[in-house]
Structure 1
Amino acid sequence: MTETAPLSDLSWTRGYTDPAWIRRFTTSGREISPSRRVWRGAGHPRDLPGRSTSSGPGTHELDTVPLELNGRAAVTLPDLFAAAQTDAFLVLHRGSVVYERYLDGIEGHTPHFNASAAKSYIGLVAAVLAHQGHLDRTLQTSFYVPELAGTAFGEARIEDLLHMGTQVSYGGRRFDKAIEAQRFFAVLSPRLRPFDYNGPTTIREHLLTARAAGAPGTEFCYENGNVEALAEVLRRVTGTSISALLGELLWSRIGAEEDAYYVLDGDGIEAASGGFSATARDVARLGEMLRCGGAVGDKQVVPEPVATSIVSGVRDGYAHRVRLPGAPLTSPATLSYHDLWWIPNDVHGSYMASGIHGQRLFVSPGLDLVVVHFGSQVISSAVPAVPFVPAFLQIGAHLHSEAQAATR
């Protein structure tokens, strides 16, 4: 059998080995692809108390806190920023900004690709619609999207899509996560296609080439098509676009400062699995709403049972045990994956949205903590993964300890 070519051997993906190119890609989506805005609504932005200036170190000196990560010598946040080609980093503790930093020309008002962190937002919307009775998680996808009958996604249940529970082969190829991710980018943008590309040119065409390589609901396989199929279900259920739906249910209700946006394929369909861009401050507002049980002040944005089920659902329902994103195959499965969210299974009830090149929204209700990280890190076996999750937890523990000491 012919082995799949290494990603580094594909000339049309080599831009992903250059942090400057990645940064241009993650901050210029509207310039290189058609896009559709996610409206922030007509209200005033919700204040983030304690906000620092975009160039300052933040209102709390976290830069000097020693972080002991995975048995390594203590490091600091600036060390991690350099290792991860960090673009933006924002920390909320008990609803106040205690740290905010932007690097390499990024500013507070700059929308940044969330990449696969956006999958979690789709999972949240789906969970809200299911809670409201508009979506039945037990039905097959083809019930809502008949065109997908006979495909890997059409024969899977909504529940399977929400947990990356399909096993899929595209066009008869052996599945390779990295290669399929790059092929998905080629579906979206003519500029990212190799010279002799003759594959699907829209997301819907791409989904139609998917065939089951195993029974749904039996294994975890992280694949964009699950989210794109789920997004198509949401369009059919609501009769509206993903941009309008996310705007109506979330973005216009969290007090966002800026419109967000999705990049579109050739049919004008949103790339729901990773084509979403927003500012760090607005993503932090989304995280703070979830930390507060789905509420913004006295307004319930997301039903509280939906917000709390992100973690409680791991215990009570369908969830997969998985490795940290980017971790070696020999590493233990320390996370759970539920409703398109990563669950560290810590004592603080934390959960995370995570995307390629270092995009993260980390919410830890037990530590009163929300962290947003945007990056442009090269993805390569030669570039070690930066252990941000342990860093987030140590930062939260430090802030929690200081807050307790201040009340004595």
Structure 2
Amino acid sequence: MTGTPPLADLAWARGYTDPARVRWHTTSGRELLPSRSVRRGSGTPTPLPAGPPGALDGLRFDGPPGQSRTLAELLAASETDALLVLHRGHVVHEQYLHGYEPHVPHFNASAAKSYLGLVAAVLAHEGLLDRDALVAGYVPELAGTAFGEARVDDLLHMGTRMSYAGRPYDKALEAQRYFAVLAPRLRPWGYTGPATIREHLATARATGEPGVEFRYENGNVEALAEVLRRVTGTTTSALLSEMIWSRIGAEEDAYYVLDGDGTEAACGGFSATARDLARFGEMVRLGGALGDRRIVPEAVASTIVSGVPDGYPRRVRFPAAPPEAPATLSYHDLWWIPNDPYGSFMASGIHGQRLLICPALDLVVVHYASQIVSPSVPQAPLVEAFLTIGTHLRDRG
């Protein structure tokens, strides 16, 4: 267990100073807010065959100099709720902790951004979405806002600069205000701000040219989701179901939580089981297909790592990294790219959610957690640990 940080860290933790409280939120979304199902369809679930038992037995992970940790110690330190490892399509490790159950959808938080990015990339590949078009051309109500005057491609690369309602931009503060928009119970006393996601987006004004600088901001994804709703004439939930979820052989419906207008919280309100997210990741690892089912064009699945367009930063900082941290990641179509030797890319969420796909290691890792976000609680080096798992599995054949 990571323990409880001091109350002085409330500004960082948004009040979630107890991992058990975070876990309640990450596993109980549709009990807290209205929701809409992402239907799995009626087909037979895609098998997830078991790999050889004990594949990770004895494996240790590097820590501080002279120290190493077992997998159990690493999972405890990261407040893990679920870990599922696929190697060459076989489950070599599947574990659930803290009472979390395999059939219960778990919040993916900002990892959900990447799934929407994939949907947008497919629609662009099919000619239904113009990456170079201004967003206001699809959503006239956003004309004059920071998002409306940006291109679709700027949204896909977090390339807008804005402030909301004339406030100086502060990422942590704006994250809190977004949650207040979404959930009335999180609004402070006397709140008079936007009550829906669309109202929130309408207050954004540009503070710089788009397409120049990386700034990780939820509004980019919510604006993109509205574009996709206008292009397809359907909800985000129905779109993800039609294009992805009903075609990967999922076992369970996923879902999005909704704002007061009935609009999906596309930037982080998606929940799914670990097994179904593993099916999704395996489909992407295999170039967009499962067996004889082509789900995503190979040209889209194969260019997530290599497709960062000219003009966008080639190296960016992870949102939780301190300002002095080096920019070591890349970012393309709402996916994080570690720039490792294995062609890896990942979806990542604030409380330790990860979907890591490593084509060169034949590896897919799903990690769900309920971590505290606080300088007082060091984050476990999960991505490095997952790559260690991948190289271990590769080397043992």
Deviation of 1:175 after TM superposition, in Å, equals: 1.2
Do the aligned residues in 2 keep the contact of 1:117 with 1:354 (CA within 8 Å)? yes
How many Å separate the matches in 2 of 1:142 and 1:71? 53
Letter paired with 1:74: S
Do the aligned residues in 2 keep the contact of 1:69 with 1:391 (CA within 8 Å)? no
Deviation of 1:61 after TM superposition, in Å, equals: 4.3
Q: Where do 1:78-157 residues align within 5 Å?
A: 78-157=72-151
Query: For residue 30 of structure 2, what is the aligned residue in structure 1?
Result: 30
Q: Any idea what the Cα deviations from partners look like across 1:64-90, whole Å, max 9, x if unmatched? A: 301125756221221121111110000
Q: Any idea what the Cα deviations from partners look like across 1:347-398, whole Å, max 9, x if unmatched? A: 1100000001100000000000000000000000111121111111111000
How many Å separate the matches in 1 of 2:272 and 2:311? 31
- Which region of structure 1 is more displaced relative to structure 2, 178-187 or 26-35? 178-187
Change over 3 Å in CA distance of 1:90–1:238 after alignment to 2: same
Deviation of 1:320 after TM superposition, in Å, equals: 4.2
Question: Size of the alignment, in residue pairs?
Answer: 391
How many Å separate the matches in 2 of 1:216 and 1:316? 13
Deviation of 1:314 after TM superposition, in Å, equals: 2.9
How many Å separate the matches in 2 of 1:11 and 1:195? 20
How many Å separate the matches in 1 of 2:304 and 2:314? 13
How many Å separate the matches in 2 of 1:42 and 1:172? 48
**2:240 aligns with one of 233, 242, 246:** 246
Residue 364 of structure 2: SS of its match in structure 1? strand
How many Å separate the matches in 1 of 2:40 and 2:49? 19
Query: For residue 154 of structure 2, what is the aligned residue in structure 1?
Result: 160
Query: For residue 42 of structure 2, what is the aligned residue in structure 1?
Result: 42
Residue 320 of structure 2: SS of its match in structure 1? coil
Residue 37 of structure 1: SS of its match in structure 2? strand
Residue 357 of structure 2: SS of its match in structure 1? strand
Unaligned runs of 5+ in 1: 1-5, 52-57, 404-408
Do the aligned residues in 1 keep the contact of 2:212 with 2:311 (CA within 8 Å)? no
Q: Any idea what the Cα deviations from partners look like across 1:274-308, whole Å, max 9, x if unmatched? A: 00000000001000000000001111100000001
Q: CA RMSD in A?
A: 1.8
Letter paired with 1:240: T
How many Å separate the matches in 2 of 1:63 and 1:125? 37
TM-score for both structures, normalised by structure 2 = 0.95
Q: Any idea what the Cα deviations from partners look like across 1:198-221, whole Å, max 9, x if unmatched? A: 110100000000011111011110
Answering whether residue 342 of structure 2 is matched by residue 348 of structure 1, we say: yes
How many Å separate the matches in 1 of 2:272 and 2:140? 33
**2:333 aligns with one of 324, 336, 339:** 339
Do the aligned residues in 2 keep the contact of 1:7 with 1:178 (CA within 8 Å)? no
Change over 3 Å in CA distance of 1:238–1:68 after alignment to 2: same
Q: Any idea what the Cα deviations from partners look like across 1:307-347, whole Å, max 9, x if unmatched? A: 01111203778554112342222221110011000000111
Letter paired with 2:26: T
Deviation of 1:263 after TM superposition, in Å, equals: 0.1
Letter paired with 2:48: L
Query: For residue 406 of structure 1, what is the aligned residue in structure 2?
Result: none
How many Å separate the matches in 1 of 2:197 and 2:224? 12
Q: Where do 1:4-23 residues align within 5 Å?
A: 8=9, 13-14=14-15, 16-23=16-23
Do the aligned residues in 1 keep the contact of 2:40 with 2:250 (CA within 8 Å)? yes
Q: Where do 1:210-249 residues align within 5 Å?
A: 210-249=204-243
Answering whether residue 156 of structure 2 is matched by residue 172 of structure 1, we say: no
Unaligned runs of 5+ in 2: 1-6
Query: For residue 3 of structure 1, what is the aligned residue in structure 2?
Result: none
Residue 99 of structure 1: SS of its match in structure 2? strand
Q: Any idea what the Cα deviations from partners look like across 1:218-243, whole Å, max 9, x if unmatched? A: 11100000000000000000000000
Query: For residue 197 of structure 1, what is the aligned residue in structure 2?
Result: 191
Do the aligned residues in 2 keep the contact of 1:235 with 1:242 (CA within 8 Å)? yes
Do the aligned residues in 1 keep the contact of 2:211 with 2:311 (CA within 8 Å)? no
Change over 3 Å in CA distance of 1:225–1:71 after alignment to 2: farther
**1:188 aligns with one of 160, 182, 192:** 182
Q: Any idea what the Cα deviations from partners look like across 1:239-277, whole Å, max 9, x if unmatched? A: 000000000000001110000000000000000000000
Letter paired with 1:47: P
Residue 342 of structure 1: SS of its match in structure 2? strand
Query: For residue 55 of structure 1, what is the aligned residue in structure 2?
Result: none
Letter paired with 2:17: T
Residue 61 of structure 2: SS of its match in structure 1? coil
TM-score for both structures, normalised by structure 1 = 0.92
Q: Where do 1:322-401 residues align within 5 Å?
A: 322-401=316-395
Query: For residue 54 of structure 1, what is the aligned residue in structure 2?
Result: none
Q: Any idea what the Cα deviations from partners look like across 1:80-125, whole Å, max 9, x if unmatched? A: 2111111000000000000000000101111000000000000000
Residue 103 of structure 2: SS of its match in structure 1? coil
Residue 42 of structure 1: SS of its match in structure 2? coil
